[in-house]
Structures are given as C-alpha cells and as structure tokens.
Amino acid sequence: MRSFLLSGLLLTALCLGSPASAQSGATERSADIVPGRYLLVYRNGVIPQDANAHIQAAGGHVIERHSRFGISTVEVPNRTISPRAAERPDSETGDAAVIASLKAQPGVAYVLHDRLVKGHGLRIRAIPDPVFSVSVGAGAFDTYYNSPQGWAVRQVGGYGGDIPGGPAHGPWNVTRGKGVRIAILDSGVDASHPDLAPNLALNLSEVNPAEMPSVCDDGTPQDQDGHGTWTASLAGAALGPGTGKMVGVAPSATILNIKVLERMPAATGADDMARCNAGEATGLMSWVIQGIDDAITNKADIISMSLGTIVDLSTGDGAGLKAVFDQVTAAAARAGIVLVAAAGNSATNLSDPQYIELPAQAQNVLAVVASTNPDCRENVVPGSACVSGPVSLAYYSNYGAPLNAVAAPGGSYPSGGDMVVSGWVRGACSSGIPGTVSGLPSTSGHSFGCFDVGHAEYVQAIGTSASAPLVAGAAALLRAAHPDWDAATTINYLRTVALPADSSLQFPQVTVGQAFSVP
C-alpha cells in the first residue's frame, strides 16, 4: 500500500522493517495466488497442437498460449477470481483436484497458480508548474532537467552535449539512445504526454478487464495510475523544444508501452472513488509473461520492469514460478534483450534463500536497488533539510547479497522544495484518458490519472521503481553506442563501469559517464 506526501504534508511515514517484519511481509506477498487461474508448463517447451481441446475436455479454458515459452494460461470456470487472493487450503477449495486434472493432460510437466504482481509502490508529491527552463538557441524547454531535481538522470550518465543542467561533455556527446527500443512493462503510458509522445512507438495492453475487473481502469494502453508514465519518463523522456519539462537518461530512445498492470481499488474505503484513489497498479504474472513475449516480438532491446512479487521457494509453486520466469527471461536474453527489474520497496532482506523477488531474481535479469542523492543525505525525520553526504541504500529498498544487484537513484527523504535540492526523484505523470477530468470512470467524461493527485503532469516520488528505468536508460545508451553487444555483455559492462560498493552503499552504483570517449 502506498503512503503519500502531498503539498509538503507527510501523511504516513514508512518505518524500517525488522527482520521479523520483513519475513512476515514476504509471507503475505507470497500468498497472492489468483483462484481459478493456472499456468501450465509443458515438457520441452512445446505445447501440443491439440492442447486446447484436452484442456477444454478437462473443464478448463485456455486464455493464452505463450507458445514461445511452452506455457499456457488456463482458467477453470466456476472458481471465483478476486483481485485479492483467496488464502484457503486446497482441502476447502478442491484446488488440488483441479491441479491434478490439469497436470494429467498430455505434455504437461507441471501446473502453477497464476499470481498477482504489483507496481512497486511509490511515495509521491504533486508538483506546481516550474519557473525556469533550459534555454538552448531560441527556445526554452525541459525545465526540470535544468534544476537540482534532475539529479537522478544525471547521476547514471544522462548528461553532455552542452545541454544545460549537467556537465557539458558526457554520454550525450556520443549518443542519446537513438535506435534503441525500451519496453516499459507497467501500468501503461500517457500517450498524450509531451515528454513521451515523441518517442512512443507502441501502445499495447495485456490487461483484460474481463479477467480481473476494476472500476478504476478500462484496461486500454493509456495509463490510468501514473506509475508507468513516471517510470517511462525516467528511461526515455524526450529532449528539446515542445517535449515537456523532463529529460530521460536516453532521450532519443524509442519507448514501447506494454501495459501489464491496471489500477485496482484498495480493500477499504468509503466508496469506489475513495478505494480507487487509494488503489495501486496490479496485474497478473501471466500478463507479465505475455508482456515479455510482446517485447520480444516487437524487437525490444531493453525491458524495464518496476513491478514484482515475493515468492516462497520452500513451496512447489514458488520453486516452479522461479523456473518459469527463468525460462521466459532466458528466451528474452537469447533475443538480445537486456532485462532490468526493480528490487522492491518493502525493506526486505532477501538473504534468506527461502524468499526471492520475481522478476528481479530471475535468470538474466539485472536487479536494481535504490540509492540516495549525494546532495541530500537520507534523513527520515520529518521536516529535515537537505545536507550533502555519502550515497547510501534507501531505507525502503529491498536488499541482500543474493539479489546480485546494482544500485541507482530511487530517492529518499528529505523531500526538498519544488525546484531546489531534494532527495526525491522528478518524473512525468499521467492525465488519464484524453478529454476527461479526474474522477471515477463510471461517471461520463472522467478517468483516473496520476496516483491520487488527479490529472497531474509531473510528480516527485521515491522508490526502486525509479531505479530500474534509470538503469534501463543507461543500458540504452550503451546499446546505442555498441549495437553489436548482446545482453550479457551490456550487463557486464554496466557492472564494470559502476562505482564500486563501499561501506555506505554495499552495491555497485550505476553510472555510464566514464564509459564514453568524449572531447
């Protein structure tokens, strides 16, 4: 569940979790199964031609054949699908009998529950219009990059080319990512946003409201949560006059919007409006799997995923899900795609081998933890002012050696002012369905857009959801400069040029600033 900072008023603060509370959170998230939906994994990665008929004869319905991976998503009718997982034992639900029946079908190796995945929650802050801009030539543009709050993009290597706001020379003297395709698997992208429209080449949604209904979101590719637009802008918001007020790390890269999350209502609230305002971006693992398939089909070079769930490897289901994701991400890597995923925001120590974060800990995926702003040392005491200090692991970030993660800006408190030094990360946000105003979609002419602040174009926020797309943008710069590199080479080089881990940040810190030969 998100907590929010609005107009400088702290409503809820996230406390650092103890090991006990972290384990409790892992257990809770690992229980997010979706009743009535199953992933059928076929032997040798091959789905028999007559598989659909066999599943139908067994009382099931094939929703999607992920033929590339040898996986089918199957629904068994008359089993209620809820946006919040049922946690009843098999003996009460007959679930074991259903799984046994599905597993008995020709070619099926094993059967898993489909599960919920969520966009890693952010703490957000609405932003008023800026008062100054970058000025190159005759026009003024990209205000936020030319402010202290452009720090996160600059820190990973988004600077150069004499663009005001960062060092004059840097990666942008060599490339700004042109020709590289970054797939954003998230809650959608605001296709009308001036920061993203120039670079947007694909709008596709794997969200099916019939499979998981939501009163908050119509399932179209347009972002009705804000999470996806925010992450996309950090990776590849456009540069130049008429392109909004943000600049992403790879401002000339192509963005592929693949929606796999929808705004789902919170469990409690006075009415639908209140529940949707407090809701969060949620999807299904099967949608994420299909989203990765879409990215391969549409020739993505990079996949950015600021989403996930914790699974318990001590269960057969958990171990199976790890194997499934390894199979899917290995196929993407063979296609040359660099996969980047956020490590998560529950302050969980993932050193316990029983629990892992997926997709961040799947094979061939580069996991990213959140780091802080060196100009605004972390201080979670309300009302604290920014003071420079060492870069550290953000208080909310998941961590642990098994992640094998790199670090990139996620931000932290203090929040700072609107245009001055801040620990928070600036990003674009969504105005919902074009031609609507903020509100419940069931009311004509209304839609949700930017978290719970209405149809806002920009927000400040903190979370590992920033860290992943920033690294995706850095990877895009490397791929643009070295189009012959495969996924493993790109990831290894990101690690090679990263700042080494130290006592304050025990993960290598991504920066590609020194990776380019500039005048």
What is the per-residue pLDDT across 395-440, written as a single tens digit (0 to 9) for each? 999 999 999 999 999 999 998 877 789 999 999 999 999 999 999 9
Domain that includes residue 60, residue range: 32-115
Residue 513 falls inside a structural domain: no
45 and 166 part of one domain? no
Strand ranges of the sheet holding 302-305, from the earlier edge strand across to the other edge: 200-205, 254-259, 181-186, 302-305, 338-342, 365-371, 406-409
CA distances from 367 to 16, 70, 210, 282, 470 (A): 21, 25, 32, 20, 12
Report whether 478 contacts 494 (CB < 8 A): yes
Residue 109's CATH number: 3.30.70.80
Residue 24 falls inside a structural domain: no
Strand ranges of the sheet holding 425-428, from the earlier edge strand across to the other edge: 123-126, 458-462, 425-428
Q: How far is it, in rounded angstroms, from Cα 204 to Cα 181?
A: 15
CA-based end-to-end distance of the chain:
47
Residue 155's CATH number: 3.40.50.200
Burial grade of 481 (CB within 10 A; 0-12, 13-18, 19 or more): middle
Which pLDDT does position 116 carry in this prediction?
95
- Domain end position, chosen among 89, 115, 141: 115
Angle at CA of residue 512, ends 164 and 183, nearest 5°: 90
Which pLDDT does position 32 carry in this prediction?
85
Q: How far is it, in rounded angstroms, from Cα 98 to Cα 374?
A: 54
Residue 510 falls inside a structural domain: no
Which pLDDT does position 129 carry in this prediction?
44
91 and 150 part of one domain? no
The number of angstroms, rounded, from the C-alpha of 337 to the middle of its chain's C-alpha atoms is 16
Q: What is the DSSP string of 223-269?
A: -SSSHHHHHHHHHH---STTS-S---SSTTSEEEEEE-EEEE--S--
Report whether 367 contacts 341 (CB < 8 A): yes
Helices 487-497 and 316-334, packing angle to 10 deg: 100
pLDDT tens for 4-23 read 332 222 222 233 333 333 33
pLDDT tens for 225-264 read 999 999 999 999 999 988 999 999 999 999 999 999 999 9
Torsion angle, CA of 306/291/440/120, rounded to 10 degrees?
A: -10
182 and 51 part of one domain? no
| Strand residue runs (E) in 372-501 | 406-409, 425-428, 437-438, 446-447, 458-462
Q: Give the bridge partners for 311, in sequence order.
A: 356
Say if strands 71-75 and 61-66 run parallel, antiparallel, or are unpaired. Answer: antiparallel
- Encode 355-382: b = buried (16+ Cβ within 10 Å), e = exposed: bbbbbbbbbbbbbbbbbbbebbbbbbee
100 and 233 part of one domain? no
168 and 284 part of one domain? yes
Residue 333 falls inside a structural domain: yes
Torsion angle, CA of 453/456/460/463, rounded to 10 degrees?
A: 70
Q: Which helix or strand (DSSP H or E) is residue 332 part of?
A: helix 316-334
Q: What is the mean pLDDT of residues 433-455?
A: 94
130 and 110 part of one domain? no
Is the model's pLDDT at 83 over the cut of 50? no
Angle at CA of residue 484, ends 481 and 486, nearest 5°: 105
Q: How far is it, in rounded angstroms, from Cα 409 to Cα 393?
A: 9
pLDDT tens for 382-394 read 889 999 999 999 9
Is the model's pLDDT at 472 over the cut of 70? yes
Q: What is the mean pLDDT of residues 354-380?
A: 97
Neighbouring C-beta atoms of residue 80, cutoff 10 Å? 8
pLDDT tens for 277-328 read 999 999 999 999 999 999 999 999 999 999 999 999 998 899 999 999 999 9
Residue 22 falls inside a structural domain: no
Residue 507 falls inside a structural domain: no
Residue 447 falls inside a structural domain: yes
380 and 442 part of one domain? yes
191 and 73 part of one domain? no
365 and 471 part of one domain? yes
Percentage of the chain with pLDDT > 70? Answer: 87
Is the model's pLDDT at 466 over the cut of 50? yes
Burial grade of 454 (CB within 10 A; 0-12, 13-18, 19 or more): middle
Q: What is the mean pLDDT of residues 35-60?
A: 95
Say if strands 280-284 and 139-141 run parallel, antiparallel, or are unpaired. Answer: unpaired
Residue 508 falls inside a structural domain: no
440 and 470 part of one domain? yes
274 and 387 part of one domain? yes
307 and 335 part of one domain? yes
Length of the chain: 519
Which pLDDT does position 518 carry in this prediction?
52
- Domain end position, chosen among 115, 131, 160: 115
pTM for the structure as a whole: 0.91
Q: Report which of 331, 334, 351 is spatially closest to residue 343, judged by C-alpha positions.
A: 351
Domain count along the chain: 2
Q: How confident is the model at residue 79 (pLDDT cuts 50, 70, 90)?
A: low
- Domain end position, chosen among 70, 98, 115: 115
